[in-house]
């Protein structure tokens, strides 16, 4: 607990407060927590603080709406891909936000709806870039419906490694 630093951002104030309480209940000292109550996509992490991490774990809201304003194509988190996640499904926006903040030798796991595996258009372009150009997708773990509170849809965990040395993708 004294070695690991925890960073997080949550838009919903109740969920943010639950996260803070959970940290204290698990013995995480206040100085090892950097939790923010704010919009992850519209308000990226402040650049005056550490912003590249060894490990990123994310469980964003599934298929949430976001602005997808054209200006985001200039945002460093999204500019490499040439397209933005659709306004009606921010799944890939959250995914790219997490990857942006991952160190070059880091690992990221993100829980998303199954649709991220096969939806086309901009999401297909981003997915192809992540797999063929970057070779960062390491594993896909399919999860059954009704596993998470508040949703009955099946989900998946996508595991990304920026330092991946093989071309295989492991499916479970």
pLDDT in the model for residue 64 = 95
> Terminal CA-to-CA distance of the chain, rounded, Å?
31
Tell me the mean pLDDT per 10 residues along the chain, length 172: 85 94 93 92 81 93 95 95 97 97 97 96 98 97 91 95 96 97
Q: How far apart are CA 129 and CA 8, in angstroms?
A: 26
Buried b (16+ CB within 10 A) or exposed e, 139-160: bbeeeeeeeeeeeeeebbbbbb
pLDDT in the model for residue 43 = 83
pLDDT in the model for residue 112 = 97
pLDDT in the model for residue 1 = 60
pLDDT in the model for residue 67 = 95
Residue in the block written with tokens 């500019």: 79
Instruction: Give the Cβ contact number of residue 126 at 10 Å.
Output: 23
* Contact (CB, 8 A) for 103 and 54: yes
pLDDT in the model for residue 148 = 85
3-state secondary structure of 145: coil
Q: How far apart are CA 99 and CA 107, in angstroms?
A: 9
Reading the block at residue 155, the tokens are: 């989900």
* Contact (CB, 8 A) for 86 and 123: yes
Q: How far apart are CA 123 and CA 81, in angstroms?
A: 10
């Amino acid at each position: 607990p004294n070695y690991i630093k925890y960073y997080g951002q949550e838009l919903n104030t109740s969920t943010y407060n639950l996260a803070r309480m959970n940290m204290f209940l698990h013995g995480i000292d206040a100085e090892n927590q950097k939790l923010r109550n704010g919009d992850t996509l519209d308000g990226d992490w402040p650049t005056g603080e550490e912003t590249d991490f060894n490990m990123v774990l994310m469980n964003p809201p599934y298929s949430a709406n976001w602005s997808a304003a054209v200006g985001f194509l200039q945002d460093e988190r999204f500019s490499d891909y040439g397209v933005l996640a659709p306004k009606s499904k921010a799944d890939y926006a959250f995914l790219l936000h997490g990857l942006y903040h991952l160190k070059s030798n880091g690992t990221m796991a993100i829980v998303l709806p199954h649709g991220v595996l096969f939806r086309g258009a901009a999401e297909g372009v981003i997915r192809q870039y992540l797999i063929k150009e970057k070779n960062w997708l390491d594993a896909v773990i399919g999860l059954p419906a009704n596993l998470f509170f508040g949703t009955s849809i099946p989900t998946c965990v996508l595991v990304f490694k920026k330092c991946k040395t093989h071309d295989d993708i492991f499916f479970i």
